[in-house]
Amino acid sequence: MAAGGARYVRYIIISLFVLIVFYFVSSSTDVVPPIKPHIPVYNGNGPSTPKQPTPDHGSTHLTDSTGSTHSSPNSHKVSNNYDPSKYPLALTPNDPGWNDLSGIAPGPRINATFVTLARNTDVWEIAKSIRHVEDRFNRRYNYDWVFLNDKPFDDLFKKITSSLVSGKTHYGLIPKEHWSFPEWIDQDKAAKVRQDMKDRKIIYGDSISYRHMCRFESGFFFRHPLMMNYEYYWRVEPSVELFCDIHYDPFRYMHEHKKKYSFVISLYEYPETIPTLWDSARKFMKNHPEHIAEDNLLRFLSDDGGETYNRCHFWSNFEIGSLEWLRSKAYIDYFETLDKDGGFFYERWGDAPVHSIAAGLMLKREEIHFFNDIAYYHVPFTHCPTGEKLRTALKCHCNPDDNFDWKGYSCTSKFFDVQGLKKPEGWEEESKKD
Ligand SMILES: Nc1nc2c(ncn2[C@@H]2O[C@H](COP(=O)(O)OP(=O)(O)OP(=O)(O)O)[C@@H](O)[C@H]2O)c(=O)[nH]1
Ligand SMILES: [Mg+2]
């Protein structure tokens, strides 16, 4: 019995020794840190832990401005000397690493965010836009995305958008005073205008919400508490498309080249929607000469030295710009002049000509940038980069015949002329096509 017991003790000691040796051998070959799974978690009840300090909204209207949370993919250094069984392939969406399709772009990030104004019903259309932006750019950069709405976002909207955006997502409710008639607006007069525009079949002419939208985009989105943390924005609308890879960070480009406003498509505004917009702009110029830039881009806006507006504007459904400029005293004085004149409601001023006139008057002309290499579509116009070599290098999938840049209703040719820029090779042939 005693001899048998000693044998058992010997077996146990040997087994323990083997186990210890095995443990040390196996852990010494582990040169690669385990890759943490990157699976965005959404609990259906909105965000759990906002990553960015949530601003103090100081307003009871802003009850919905919390943010969903995503982890950024890990950028571990990988060595070939590892045990594959410890790093299983992601074969299904539930497997760790499913989202790690390729590396995160190295280098710094700018204090910037995407921003989208949308209704809950826009969810599937904005989902398409996000997919384009992520596939062509943001999956490698993971910039944040702010969503703003005049009504609280519902769970479906938050769930779908937060699952698609690679950066952090934030959802904000617009304060009532930024989405309503200011007290100086004569309601009867505004209602008559809407009826008249409806009779004349002017696009969105009878819409109240469209007017609130244009006024909000003109004067308020950049001051929403969720936007106050950022210095640059990139506006994205539902149902837009990006056709080419974006190989560099446009936010960094803006920052490093001291750009304050940028565009991809420009065109002429419908005259019926802005009969007195230029009068208001001139009033601003007269009252605030201190805000007018010396080397400005007035010649893009006016063909007669500022007497009249030629209706050229940058299409604002795409914009990358400086929030600090929009929050400057110069821009706010400008917006308040326009707002007091009431044309957002007595006419139907769009935020595109409002932003463009501001940029053309208050920025130095070299602060406005045309992103030729960002290929873009918003119904019904396309910007497809001119030059086959460039399109191939950027893996573009747009049809160059659809490019609007050099067509008669575009102002981009004028922009090049006024800026003294050389137009890209091939522009003349494109301009001759229908
Ligand atoms: N929350 C909210 N967003 C709106 C409302 N109306 C428009 N928007 C958003 O404001 C932006 C501009 O509106 P659009 O309807 O796209 O206007 P548009 O680009 O001039 O016209 P479309 O050709 O219809 O695209 C989009 O991002 C819309 O989702 C609204 O009443 N509430
Ligand atoms: Mg739109």
Query: By the 8 A CB rule, do 414 and 404 touch?
Result: no
Distance from first CA to last CA of the chain, Å, rounded?
A: 103
In whole numbers, what is the pLDDT of the chain averaged over residues? 83
Contacts of 321 (CB under 8 A, 6+ apart): 232, 233, 254, 260, 261, 262
The reply to whether ligand 1 has any atom less than 6 angstroms from the CB of 150 is yes
Measured in Å, residue 199 CA sits from the centre of ligand 2 at 23
Angle at 55 between CA 52 and CA 60, to 5 degrees: 135
- Tell me, what amino acid is at 176? K
* Weakest mean pLDDT among 56-65, 207-216, 244-253, 399-408: 56-65
- pLDDT of residue 250 exceeding 70, the answer is yes
Query: By the 8 A CB rule, do 300 and 360 touch?
Result: yes
- pLDDT of residue 424 exceeding 50, the answer is yes
Contacts of 316 (CB under 8 A, 6+ apart): 217, 235, 350, 351, 352, 355, 356
The reply to whether ligand 1 has any atom less than 6 angstroms from the CB of 400 is no
- pLDDT of residue 16 exceeding 50, the answer is yes
Catalytic residue among 217, 269, 319, 347: 319
In ligand 1, which atom is closest to the CA atom of 317? 19
Q: Whose CA is nearest to atom 10 of ligand 1?
A: 117
The reply to whether ligand 1 has any atom less than 6 angstroms from the CB of 213 is yes
Ligand nearest to the CA of 236: 1
Q: Over range 31-41, report the average pLDDT.
A: 27
Measured in Å, residue 83 CA sits from the centre of ligand 2 at 50
Measured in Å, residue 236 CA sits from the centre of ligand 1 at 11
The reply to whether ligand 1 has any atom less than 6 angstroms from the CB of 218 is no
Q: What is the pLDDT of residue 78?
A: 24
Query: By the 8 A CB rule, do 398 and 375 touch?
Result: yes
Q: Whose CA is nearest to atom 28 of ligand 1?
A: 118
Q: CA 377, CA 345: separation in Å to the nearest integer?
A: 29
230-268 in b/e burial notation, b at 16+ Cβ within 10 A? bbbbbbbbbbbbbbbebeebbbbbbbeeebbbbbbbbbe
Q: Over range 269-289, report the average pLDDT.
A: 98
In ligand 1, which atom is closest to the CA atom of 237? 27
pTM of the predicted structure, to 2 decimals: 0.81
Ligand nearest to the CA of 126: 1
Of 136 and 72, the structure prediction assigns the larger pLDDT to: 136
The reply to whether ligand 1 has any atom less than 6 angstroms from the CB of 117 is yes
Q: Whose CA is nearest to atom 31 of ligand 1?
A: 209
Active site residue 319: yes
The reply to whether ligand 1 has any atom less than 6 angstroms from the CB of 238 is yes
* pLDDT above 90 coverage of the chain, percent: 69
Q: Whose CA is nearest to atom 22 of ligand 1?
A: 379
Q: CA 130, CA 236: separation in Å to the nearest integer?
A: 8
Measured in Å, residue 210 CA sits from the centre of ligand 1 at 7
310-356 confidence digits (pLDDT tens): 999 999 999 999 999 999 999 999 999 999 999 999 999 999 999 99
Q: What is the pLDDT of residue 95?
A: 52
In ligand 1, which atom is closest to the CA atom of 210? 6
Ligand nearest to the CA of 204: 1
- pLDDT of residue 10 exceeding 90, the answer is no
